[in-house]
Amino acid sequence: MLVHSDQGSQYTANAYHQTLLDYGMVCSMSRKGECHDNAVAESFFHSLKTELVYGEKYQTRAEAKQSVFKYIEIFYNRKRRHSYLNCQAPLVYESMNVA
């Protein structure tokens, strides 16, 4: 699995890189100051923040993790329509385009 990010300090930290290695993931980073390298991730995080996070007041880290998990797995991937996917949810799009 390839994990793409910008060059923020949290993504360049040794502990982060070690965690990726521990799980068999490969780190990929955009060029410094080049937001277009990371456009898909930037778009996703914008949606996550504006559609969920900014409207919430989490009491615990566990509550925040559960909320974000539900947003991604239940709403974003299964129900939210994406213009890039002909206004279909990713799960629907993938099921229709399996060879």
Domain match, 30 and 56 both = no
**For the chain, what is the domain count?**
2
Share of the chain above pLDDT 70, in %: 96
Assess whether pLDDT exceeds 90 at residue 10.
no
Domain match, 62 and 29 both = no
61-71 burial code (b ≥16 CB/10 A, e <16): eeeeeeebeeb
Q: Is residue 63 part of a domain?
A: yes
Assess whether pLDDT exceeds 80 at residue 80.
yes
Q: What's this model's pTM, rounded to 2 decimal places?
A: 0.60
Least confident of 28-42, 44-58, 71-85: 28-42
Domain match, 59 and 34 both = no
| Exposed/middle/buried for residue 44 (C-beta within 10 Å: 0-12, 13-18, 19+) | middle
Domain interval for residue 65? 52-99
Domain match, 97 and 62 both = yes
Domain match, 23 and 61 both = no
DSSP characters over 9-50: HHHHSHHHHHHHHHTT-EEEEPPTT-GGGGHHHHHHHHHHHH
